[in-house]
Structure 1
Amino acid sequence: MKKNSLNGNRYGFQLTIKELLANSKLTAGNQEIVYRDKMRYTYSDLFERINRLGSALAGLGVKRGDTVAVFDYDSNRYLESFFAIPMMGAVLFTVNWRLSPDQIEYTMNHAEADVILINTDFLPLLSSIRGKLKFVKKVVIFSDSDQAPKTDAAYDAEYEELLAAASPDFEFPDLDENTKATTFYTTGTTGLPKGVYFSHRQIVLHTMSVCIGVSGHDTPLRFSTSDVYMPITPMFHVHAWGFPFIATMMGVKQVYPGKYEPEMLVKLIAREKVTFSHCVPTILQMIVVSPIAKQLDLSAWKVIIGGARLAKGIAVAAINLGISVMTGYGMSETCPVISVSNLKPYMKNFDNEQKSDIAIKTGMPIALVDVRIADGDGNFQPNDGKTTGEIVVRAPWFTKGYHKDPEKTEDLWRGGWLHTGDVGYMDQDGYIQITDRLKDVIKTGGEWVSSLDLENAVSMHNAIQEAAAIGVPDSKWGERPMLLVVLKPEFRNDGITSEVLKSHMKSCAEQGAIPRYAIPDQYIIADDIPKTSVGKVDKKRLRALYTGAI
C-alpha cells in the first residue's frame, strides 16, 4: 500500500506491535519520557527516534527474521528497541547480562544473534566472549558519556551518532501478526537457560489484557493516563513484565532509572512524582527500610510485586508508609502476567491489615487467562480455597514452546495446559494463592509443608528483613524445615537468637498460621540470602550450601 493513500489491496488488520503506537501518536505527542538525569524528551521525539532506529538498523543490514540482542539497563534506548526492532520484522533478544559469561555465550549462539546493541558498561563482558560468538556481525554501543569509551573492544557505531545520521521517515512494513517478535532466556534452576519466544499477536493480546487488569478496576491501585510510570524491574526480564508496551500505548509519562542505585531511584520517585512501578519483593523491602523513605510522601506510589511471594511483613510496612501494593503472578513462559491481586470494590475501606492480606494473594486471573488447579493425575480440583494442586494455565499469548527444545516443550504443555510448577489453590472469589513451588515443598513425615508459609510467618517478627525456608534431610522424617533469616540492621546486636525465632514460630502455630509439625528445628541468622539473576531467592544454592542437595 502506498503511504498516505487509499490505493492498494485490502489489508487484513493485524495485531502487531506497530499498532500499539497509534493512539499515543494522536493523543500524547507532548507527553514526557525521562532517562535518569541524562535525557528528557517527548513522545513525538520517541516516535521519530523509533523511525531513526529502524532506518539505522536497516542500514547495518538488519532484515526480517534477524535477531538483535540488547544489553542495557532500564533506559529510553531500551524502550526504543522494544518497538523499532520487532516493527522491522526482526527479533528483539533481551539479554540477561547478570548471567555468567558462559551462559551468555550459550544464549547468544543458541538464539543466533546477528547484531548487538550494548551499554559500554558491558563491553568487558562482551570482549571476554566475542571470539566465541558465531553469528554476530555488527556491534553498536550505548554510552551515557560525551566522551568516546576507553575500550579495546571493537564496535561499529555509537547509538546516538547512528540515530542522528539516520532517516526520520523510515516506513515500517505491514507484518503478519504471527511473526516472531521477541525472545529471551529463562534462568531456571537446572540445566542450561531455555529460550522462549513471542509473536506480535501474543504481545498485543498480553498488553491489552494486562491493561484491563490494572486499569479496569476502580481501586487505589488503578493505572491511568495521569500516572507517572517507572519500572524497577530489568527490561531484559520478560519485557519488564510488559509495562513499557502498556505505558506507551496509553501515553503515560515514563521515567527510566538506568542502573539501579538506591539514591537515584528515590531521587527520581520524588523529582518526577512517580506513581506507578513494579519490582521484586527485595527491592520493595530495600526501599521501605531505607531511612530516606520515611522522609518522603509515598502515598501516591502504587507498586506491583512479582517474581517471588510478597511476605506479609513487607506488605504491612509498605502500606503503613502509604504505598499501595498488589501482587502480580506469572512466569517467563507466560509473557508474563497471569493474575493480579486487585482489591474488589467492597474492600476499599479495609484497614491496612486486611488490605495486606489481599495484597499478598497471588491474585485473580486477568482477562483471557484460564486457570485450573490439577491433582497429580491431571484431574481438576474445586475452587474451595483449600484443595491444593498444581496451577495449570492457558491463554492466547503464552509461549508455544522452548526454542530448539521439543522435549521440554512437550513437558511444559503436557495435556494441553501450561504447567507452572507452582502448587496452590483458588477460592470462591477467584483469588489464586500459591502455597509453594513443587520443587520447594518440604516433605516431612508424609506431610507437605509450604516453605512460603514459613517465610511469611517469620517475616511478621519485627526483626526480620528477609527469610528463606528449605528442607534438610532427616533420618526419621525424611525432611525437616530449616529457616534462614537476615535481620534488620537495627536488630543485629539486639540478642535475636534461634531460640527467639523458634518461640515466634511456635506462637504462629498456636495462632493457626502454620501447623505444629511445620515449626522448623534449625534457624540460621545470615548476613545475606543468595539470589538468582532476576532477584529471586536461590533455593537451589541454599540447598547445596546447607544440605549438599540440589
Structure 2
Amino acid sequence: MTMTANLNLLTPTPSAYTYPLLIKQLLINAMSLHGEQEITYRGQMRYSYRDFSQRIGQLAHALTALDVGAGSTVAVMDWDSHRYLESYFGIPMMGATLFTVNVRLSPAQILYTLNDADTDVLLVHTDFLPVIEEIRAQLPHIRHIVVLSDDGVLPATSFDVAGEYEALVSSAAADYDFPELDENTKAVTFYTTGTTGDPKGVCYSHRHIVMHALATALSMCSPMGEQRLHRGDVYMPITPMFHVLGWGFPYISLMLGLRTVLPGRYLPDVLLKLRETEKVTFSHCVPTILQMLVTGADKTGQDLSGWKVVIGGSALPAGLCEAALAKGMDVFAGYGMSETGPVVSLALNPTHAELSKQDDVRLRSSTGMPSLMVDFRVVDEDMKDVPRDGVTRGEVVLRSPSLTPIYFKKPEASEELWRGGYLHTQDIAVMHADGMVQIVDRLKDVIKTGGEWVSSIEVEGLITQVPGVSEAAVIGVPDAKWGERPMAFVVAAADVKPEFIREHLQSHVQAKRISAYAVPELSRICLVAEIPKTSVGKINKKLLREAQPT
C-alpha cells in the first residue's frame, strides 16, 4: 500500500493532550463512575475497582524493586484470578511486556516460550512450581521468580524466589505514576501453537488492545434484544486468561465497569455454582466447556436462563447450540484467532428479528457478521473477492486496527502471514449477500474426495444433531480410489450406533444438503470415549490424523 504525503496535517496547540490509546485509559471512566464496583476471586475474596486501581500501583512498585522497567518482559503462570487481572493492567502500563504463558503446554514448550520471549521475571502459581523445578536450570535469562499462592504460604523450592505475590504487593506503595507511552509500545506477548514447528509469539501493542476493546464492545452492545452486553451484566471468563487475553473480554469488562467474577481453575461444578451464587450473566468459552456446563446442569437441574455465552475456539455445533438454548442460555458464536486480537466477527441478530427455531440455531452457530472496523474479505487464490452467494468458497483475509503485525523474532513467518497486505487466516468460508459469513473449514482440514471438497465442520455439525451425540470430529484419511475419504470420531451415549449416524447423514444427502461423498463408510464412523484436545480445548485433528495408518 502506497502512502502519500499529507499536506493537511492537523497540528495541535502545544498544550493540547493528544490522548494516546493506552491500556491505562480503559480504566478512566470505570474509576470515575464505578469505583465501588466489585471484583471477586471464586467468591472467596472481594474488593472494589478502587482497591484494584491501588493494587496495580502496588504491583508496579513491587516489580520496579525487581528491576522491571520499560522493555522488560514479565511472564505469568496462573489460573484466572485477581492477580492475573492486575497483571493485565499493571505490567503493560509500566511500559513492560506481559507474557501470558500457556500452562497447558508441555514442559519443553513452556521452556521454549519462556526463553524465546526473553522473560526477565516470572510470576508462577504454586500449582505450576513442579514444572519450573524441572526446567529452572535452563532459564538463564530469568532474574526473579515470584510465587502466587492462594493461601499466602510460600512453599519450599530448590531455586531462589523473590517472595510471595501478596506479601510483595501489599507491602508496596500504591501511588505509582504510570508513564505516558507511545501507543505502539508492545504490551503483550503470547504463543500460538500450530501443527508444525515451534510455538510462535504473537505480539500486541497498547493501541491494538484498546482498539479491540472499543470495537468489540460496541459490536456487542449494539444489538436490540438478546446476544448483547450491557453495564448491568455480571461477567465471568471461562476462556483461560492466557489464551488470547481471555479473548479481550477482561479489558472490556473493566472498561464498562462490570461486576467481575474470576473463577480460578475451570471445574464445571465450580463454574455452575459461581454462575448461581454470583448471578453471572455473561461469559465466553470453547464448545468443550459449554458441553460440560450443559451436561452438569442436566444432572443438577440447574436453570441457566439469562446466561449469555459467546462460543469460540472452534465451530459451535448446531446440536450443542440447541441443547444450550433448551437450558435457557443465550448462546452464540464468535470468530477469531490468536493473530486477530481475537474477535473479528460475531453471530449476532442485530435487529432482533423473529426467526424460526431452525434459522435461529443456524444464525447463532454461524461465523456471523464482521465486527466494527474489520475489513473482512473472502477471496480466491488471486485475492479477488468471491461472489456473495453463500456457495463460492475462498480464504478469509483481514485488516483491522487490532491484528498482530508480527510473529516475535520470525520475520519470514510474519511476511507470510501478511502477504499482499492482508492477514491470511487459512480459514475457508462463504459469504452471503447480507454480509453473513460461514467458515466451512480450515485450509488444512478440508477433505477432497471423489473430486469434491467436503467440509469437515459441516459434517461434524450434522452428526451432533443425532440424539445422544455430544461431540464429533471428522478428518480426511487416505483412500486408494477416492484420494481421501471422511472419517468420523463420535462421543455418544451407549445406545447410539454408527448405523444411526450414517442414516442421519444419508437423510441430508437425500434432502440435497450435503454431497454423498461427505458420508463416511460405516467402518469409518468410530465411537470413542473422548476426542483429543489441544492445550486451549480445541479438537486436535493433528493427533487424529497421525494415529491413522498411511
Is 1:225 the counterpart of 2:231? The answer is yes
Q: Which residue of 332, 340, 354 maps to 1:326?
A: 332
- Relative to the length of structure 2, the TM-score reads 0.95
Q: Which residue of 83, 92, 97 maps to 1:86?
A: 92
For residues 342 and 276 of structure 1, the distance between their equivalents in structure 2, rounded to whole angstroms, comes to 15
Identity %: 51
For residues 540 and 380 of structure 2, the distance between their equivalents in structure 1, rounded to whole angstroms, comes to 27
**Contact 1:242-1:336 at 8 Å conserved across structures:** yes
For residues 400 and 442 of structure 1, the distance between their equivalents in structure 2, rounded to whole angstroms, comes to 31
| Structure 2 match to 1:546 | 548
Is 1:531 the counterpart of 2:533? The answer is yes
**Contact 1:449-1:518 at 8 Å conserved across structures:** yes
| Structure 2 match to 1:350 | 355
Residue identity opposite 2:259 in structure 1 = K
| Structure 2 match to 1:497 | 497
For residues 505 and 355 of structure 1, the distance between their equivalents in structure 2, rounded to whole angstroms, comes to 21
**Contact 1:339-1:362 at 8 Å conserved across structures:** yes
SS state at 1:439 partner? coil
**Contact 1:457-1:513 at 8 Å conserved across structures:** no
Is 1:404 the counterpart of 2:409? The answer is yes
Is 1:120 the counterpart of 2:126? The answer is yes
For residues 547 and 331 of structure 1, the distance between their equivalents in structure 2, rounded to whole angstroms, comes to 31
| Structure 2 match to 1:374 | 379
SS state at 2:397 partner? strand
SS state at 1:345 partner? coil
For residues 203 and 214 of structure 1, the distance between their equivalents in structure 2, rounded to whole angstroms, comes to 16
Count of paired positions: 535
Residue identity opposite 1:46 in structure 2 = F
1:218-367 equivalences in 2 (<5 Å): 218-291=224-297, 295-347=301-353, 349-367=354-372
Q: 1:146 to 1:105 in 2, by over 3 A?
A: closer
For residues 190 and 153 of structure 2, the distance between their equivalents in structure 1, rounded to whole angstroms, comes to 31
Residue identity opposite 1:525 in structure 2 = L
Q: Deviations over 1:177-209 (max 9, x none)?
A: 011100000011111100110110111111100
SS state at 1:99 partner? coil
Residue identity opposite 2:366 in structure 1 = K
Offset of residue 239 of structure 1: 0.4
| Structure 2 match to 1:427 | 432
For residues 298 and 103 of structure 1, the distance between their equivalents in structure 2, rounded to whole angstroms, comes to 38
For residues 433 and 379 of structure 2, the distance between their equivalents in structure 1, rounded to whole angstroms, comes to 16
Q: Which residue of 164, 179, 201 maps to 1:158?
A: 164
For residues 400 and 291 of structure 1, the distance between their equivalents in structure 2, rounded to whole angstroms, comes to 42
SS state at 1:382 partner? coil
For residues 514 and 272 of structure 1, the distance between their equivalents in structure 2, rounded to whole angstroms, comes to 44
Q: Which residue of 71, 76, 81 maps to 1:70?
A: 76
Is 1:205 the counterpart of 2:211? The answer is yes
Q: Deviations over 1:101-153 (max 9, x none)?
A: 11111111111000001101000001111111131001111101143325444
SS state at 1:21 partner? helix
Unmatched 5+ stretches in structure 1: 1-7
For residues 405 and 440 of structure 2, the distance between their equivalents in structure 1, rounded to whole angstroms, comes to 27
Offset of residue 47 of structure 1: 0.5
SS state at 1:270 partner? helix
SS state at 1:440 partner? coil
For residues 224 and 299 of structure 2, the distance between their equivalents in structure 1, rounded to whole angstroms, comes to 27
Is 1:386 the counterpart of 2:391? The answer is yes
For residues 514 and 83 of structure 1, the distance between their equivalents in structure 2, rounded to whole angstroms, comes to 48
- Relative to the length of structure 1, the TM-score reads 0.95
Offset of residue 353 of structure 1: 3.0
Q: 1:408 to 1:479 in 2, by over 3 A?
A: same
**Contact 2:204-2:404 at 8 Å conserved across structures:** yes
Q: 1:431 to 1:141 in 2, by over 3 A?
A: same
Residue identity opposite 2:79 in structure 1 = Y
Q: 1:352 to 1:150 in 2, by over 3 A?
A: farther
| Structure 1 match to 2:110 | 104
Is 1:442 the counterpart of 2:444? The answer is no
For residues 86 and 147 of structure 1, the distance between their equivalents in structure 2, rounded to whole angstroms, comes to 27
**Contact 2:154-2:163 at 8 Å conserved across structures:** no
For residues 293 and 243 of structure 1, the distance between their equivalents in structure 2, rounded to whole angstroms, comes to 29
For residues 356 and 159 of structure 2, the distance between their equivalents in structure 1, rounded to whole angstroms, comes to 57
**Contact 2:195-2:542 at 8 Å conserved across structures:** yes
For residues 319 and 354 of structure 1, the distance between their equivalents in structure 2, rounded to whole angstroms, comes to 13
For residues 68 and 297 of structure 2, the distance between their equivalents in structure 1, rounded to whole angstroms, comes to 48
SS state at 1:421 partner? strand
**Contact 1:219-1:342 at 8 Å conserved across structures:** no
SS state at 2:210 partner? helix
**Contact 1:294-1:321 at 8 Å conserved across structures:** no
Could you say what the CA RMSD is over the residues aligned between the two structures, in angstroms?
Answer: 1.3
1:55-66 equivalences in 2 (<5 Å): 55-66=61-72
SS state at 1:140 partner? strand
Offset of residue 383 of structure 1: 1.6
Residue identity opposite 1:336 in structure 2 = P
Residue identity opposite 1:516 in structure 2 = A
For residues 547 and 131 of structure 1, the distance between their equivalents in structure 2, rounded to whole angstroms, comes to 39
Residue identity opposite 1:89 in structure 2 = G
**Contact 1:481-1:519 at 8 Å conserved across structures:** yes
Offset of residue 37 of structure 1: 3.5
| Structure 2 match to 1:190 | 196
**Contact 2:236-2:261 at 8 Å conserved across structures:** yes
Unmatched 5+ stretches in structure 2: 1-13
SS state at 2:264 partner? coil
